[in-house]
Amino acid sequence: MSADELIAQNRQMRALALAMFPRCRKQLGSFNAVGVSDTGGGSARIKLYNVGLGLGVLVEVVALVDIGTAATSIVSPQSPWNMVSRFRLTDYDNTDRINTTGYGLYLISRRRDAEQDRGAAGLADAYFGALTAAPGNNTVSQPNYIMPKTPVATGTNVELRLMYYLPLAYDPENDLRGAVLMQTALGEMYLNIDFNNVFQAATGVDSVFRTSNSSTVTVNSITVNVWQDYLLLQAVGGQTPLPQLDLLTVYELNEMQTTDNIAVGQGKLISFPNVRSVKSMGLYYVNNGTMAADIGDISRFRLVVNGNNILQENSARSQLVTQRRLLRGTDLPAGTYIFDSSTRPIETAMYGNVQMEVTPSAYTAGVTYMGVVFESMYTKGSALPGMNQSS
């Protein structure tokens, strides 16, 4: 069968699956995080059900905290999404489908929601904690985008709630690339969640709360509620239509943090992943524990191919204008950028060496790093260039 015939067959099987398979959501249960201390931390490990075509996972995090008498909470750019320091969703052959922070997942969710026309926030929206006052008193603009606010009221067992959606299929309504065939008796698929081990700090952006030195935030417990979305397999004309090319495709969210070669006026090169179809890249710059608003601490972005071919070049301001249009007129939190290539993915196998050159306009030694998350696709079993598949 030719490539064109395979693509046509996959398209037909995808249409049948989307039309004929019932959409299901199963609540997997409520799970207590283990290893939680007064300052936070801990983890949870959830086994997914072996059923149907896996589309995604909805996770609700519930933390119970005591807020001391003198507590004054300040919303940092990464809060409240940084309540989770790591999501790791691993499939049956130990391939990481998702390996990202809660904040990195939020960035990709914003881009996905804009593309799939779910409004300015969509699945990336969150509700966070003890919103007892009028709604206008529980939000903060940062800038021009209304974010949930951490509670400022004192209390015992104050409940903080936050929702995250972890996609497996690229678009469960229209595009099943990345969906996982989970109808198997062999193997298990797990979601691992690590929680922020610093819920309170006087300075910085990595903690959930930024509080005065006299304040106290004590974590009592962290619980997660998990729902699994899937398509229930059905026979059509005596056969089960499965889009094989979609199921061989991995939809990957992968994040890293880098601290080297950051200097004022010097381009820092961030390499794109090899043999990937890159849909987007998210980046946030933490400079000595701060994330600067407006044009931030970045002077220039350049997309460079093979070391010398510049495909795109932006100042911080032109990049912010571009992403504001992408996000329906809203902004990302301070010091945060999203580079969208979803309509024309960057094919690193074809382009060769692809890098984003980021030039800082400010740098201070301390807690300084760049967080980078890539949203990409690749076909399982594809060989790396220049390597023997059996090696």
Give residues with Cβ within 8 angstroms of 354, minimum separation 6.
271, 272, 278, 303, 304, 305, 346, 348
Say how many C-beta atoms besides its own lie within 10 A of residue 133's C-beta: 12
First to last CA, the chain: 28
pLDDT at residue 75, as a whole number: 61
**Residues paired with 280 in a beta bridge:** 340, 375
User: Over its length of 391 residues, how does the chain's per-residue pLDDT go in tens digits?
Assistant: 788 889 999 999 999 999 999 999 999 999 999 999 999 999 999 999 999 999 999 999 999 988 876 555 566 778 889 999 999 999 998 889 999 999 999 999 999 988 876 544 433 434 333 322 222 333 333 333 333 445 556 778 888 888 899 999 999 999 999 999 999 888 899 999 999 999 888 888 899 887 776 778 899 999 999 999 999 999 988 889 999 999 999 999 999 999 999 999 999 999 999 999 999 999 999 999 999 887 889 999 999 999 889 999 999 999 999 999 998 888 888 899 999 999 999 999 888 899 999 999 999 999 999 999 999 999 986 544 433 333 2
- Give CA–CA dist 180/95, Å, rounded: 12
> How much is the pTM?
0.88
CATH annotation of 3-231 = 2.70.9.30
Q: What is the pLDDT of residue 145?
A: 33
* CA–centroid distance for 296 within its chain: 22
Backbone φ and ψ for 213, nearest 5 degrees, come out as -65, -25
Class of domain 259-379: mainly beta
DSSP result, 14-75: HHHHHHHSPEEEEEEEEEEPBS-BTTB--EEEEEPP--SEEEEEEEEEEEEEEE-TT---B-
Domain boundaries, the chain: 3-231, 259-379
Q: Which residue has the tokens 């980046």?
A: 283
Whole-angstrom Cα distance, residue 361 to residue 384?
Answer: 36
E strands in 68-204: 84-90, 96-100, 139-141, 146-148, 155-167, 180-181, 190-195, 200-201
Per-residue pLDDT at 27 = 97
User: How are beta strands 309-315 and 249-258 bridged, if at all?
Assistant: unpaired
